[in-house]
C-alpha cells in the first residue's frame, strides 16, 4: 500500500473506529442516490441488524440520514441538505481515491465528454476495484499509462470502459447505478 493510501485509510479509521459506520458512510455519502433498508444492509454488509440499526439511528438522529416508509420498510437516504454532507462526501471520495482519478486521469485525458462511477462503489459498497465508464474521444495508450500510475498511489484497481451513446442512454435512464463524476457539457 502506498504512503498516500495508507494515510487515507488510517485517517478514516482514526476518525471513525466502527467498521459499520465506515460502510454506512460509503453506502450513503459517496452516491447520494443510494437508498437502503435495514435487512438489505444486513445482507450487503454481512453484519448483525443490531449493529447496523444502532448506527442508522445515530445518523438519522444527527440529521445526516433521512428516512421514509415504503411497504413496511424504513428506507434510509443521505440528507444532502445537511451542512456536513459536502464535507463527508469529500472525505469519502479521498478515502476511495476518486480525487486522484479526477486530478491525474480524467483531467489529462483530452476530450472525455462524461465519466461515471459504476459498479460496487456506485452502489455504496467498498471494493478493491473502481469501475468507471467514459464517453468521449480517448487516447487509450495514454489512459493505460495514467491508470497504472494512479493505481499505485491509491492501491485499488481501476477498470475503465469506453462507451458509446447507446450505453450512455442506459446510464442516463438509471438502468444501472451510476454516479456522474465529470461532465464537459
What confidence tens digit (pLDDT) does each residue in 71-98 have? 999 999 999 999 999 999 999 998 888 8
In a domain, 166, yes or no: yes
For residue 165, what are the contacts with CB-CB under 8 A and spacing of at least 6? 135
Which residues pair with residue 77 across a beta bridge?
35, 66
Are 79 and 102 found together in one domain?
A: no
What does the alpha-carbon distance between residue 88 and residue 102 come to, in Å, rounded to a whole number? 18
- pLDDT category of residue 1 using cuts at 50, 70 and 90: very low
Q: Are strands 129-138 and 157-163 parallel, antiparallel or unpaired?
A: parallel
Are 179 and 103 found together in one domain?
A: yes
For residues 89-108, average pLDDT: 87
**How much is the pLDDT for 131?**
95
Are 69 and 130 found together in one domain?
A: no
Are 51 and 127 found together in one domain?
A: no
**Structural domain count, the chain:** 2
Asked which of 24, 58, 85 is the last residue of a domain, the reply is 85
CATH of the domain at 64: 1.10.10.10
Asked which of 61, 85, 109 is the last residue of a domain, the reply is 85
What's the mean pLDDT when you consider all of the chain?
Answer: 87
DSSP string for residues in 156-179: SEEEEEEE-HHHHHHHHTTSS--E
Chain-centroid distance, C-alpha 92: 7
In a domain, 90, yes or no: no
Most confident of 9-18, 44-53, 71-80: 71-80
Window from 73-77, 87-91, 103-107, 162-166 with minimum mean pLDDT: 103-107
Whole-number Cα distances in Å, 171 to 77, 131, 178, 180: 21, 13, 7, 9
Question: 119: domain range?
Answer: 97-183
CATH of the domain at 114: 3.30.460.10
Asked which of 85, 112, 137 is the last residue of a domain, the reply is 85
What confidence tens digit (pLDDT) does each residue in 122-155 have? 999 999 999 999 998 888 888 999 999 899 888 8
The percent of residues in the chain predicted with pLDDT above 90, rounded, is 57
Residue 26 in this model has a pLDDT that exceeds 80: yes
Amino acid at each position: 500500500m502506498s504512503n498516500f493510501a495508507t494515510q487515507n485509510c488510517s485517517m478514516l479509521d482514526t476518525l471513525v473506529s466502527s467498521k459499520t459506520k465506515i460502510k454506512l458512510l460509503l453506502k450513503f455519502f459517496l452516491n447520494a442516490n443510494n437508498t437502503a433498508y435495514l435487512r438489505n444492509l444486513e445482507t450487503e454488509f454481512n453484519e448483525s441488524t443490531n449493529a447496523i440499526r444502532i448506527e442508522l439511528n445515530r445518523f438519522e438522529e444527527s440529521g445526516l440520514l433521512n428516512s421514509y416508509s415504503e411497504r413496511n420498510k424504513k428506507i434510509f437516504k443521505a440528507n444532502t441538505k445537511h451542512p456536513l454532507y459536502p464535507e463527508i462526501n469529500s472525505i469519502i471520495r479521498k478515502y476511495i481515491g476518486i480525487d486522484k482519478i479526477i486530478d491525474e486521469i480524467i483531467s489529462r485525458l483530452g476530450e472525455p465528454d462524461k465519466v461515471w462511477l459504476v459498479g460496487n462503489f456506485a452502489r455504496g459498497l467498498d471494493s478493491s476495484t473502481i469501475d468507471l465508464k467514459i464517453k468521449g474521444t480517448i487516447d487509450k495508450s495514454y489512459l493505460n499509462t495514467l491508470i497504472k500510475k494512479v493505481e499505485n498511489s491509491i492501491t485499488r484497481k481501476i477498470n475503465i470502459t469506453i462507451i458509446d451513446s447507446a450505453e450512455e442512454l442506459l446510464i442516463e435512464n438509471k438502468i444501472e447505478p451510476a454516479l456522474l463524476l465529470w461532465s464537459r457539457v
